[in-house]
Amino acid sequence: MSTPLHTVKNDFGSKEALVEKLVPLLDRQENENDGEFKERLLRVSNRKLLRLWEREQLLREKYTNKEALVDQIVADKLGRADADLKSTLSALSTGRLLSLRSGK
């Protein structure tokens, strides 16, 4: 069984390369620039970075983007558009949204 470190090195070359790929995909905190966001991600464990990468790949394969996933959840729950629910769901993380979708 491969360790997270080996997986990162084999699949991405380095932790820095994985972080570079994740930066444009992930939501960041308000008032956080790219440099600060990269620094924060570099302090995250390899295992968590790999989970984030897998989650983002799943999102893009199945739903194209976060907005499409939110629209799908709203349609499944209500059968119609609802701006308030859409706004609330848009504030949730991708992981939480995917959990809501899979738990339908």
Percent of the chain with pLDDT over 90: 62
What does the domain layout of the chain look like in residue ranges? 1-63, 64-104
SS (H, E, C) the chain: CCCHHHHHHHHHCCHHHHHHHHCCCCCCCCCCCHHHHHHHHHCCCHHHHHHHHHHHHHHHHHHCCHHHHHHHHHHHHHCCCCHHHHHHHHCCCHHHHHHHHHCC
Average pLDDT, the chain: 91
> Does position 103 have pLDDT exceeding 80, yes or no?
no
What pTM does this model have? 0.83
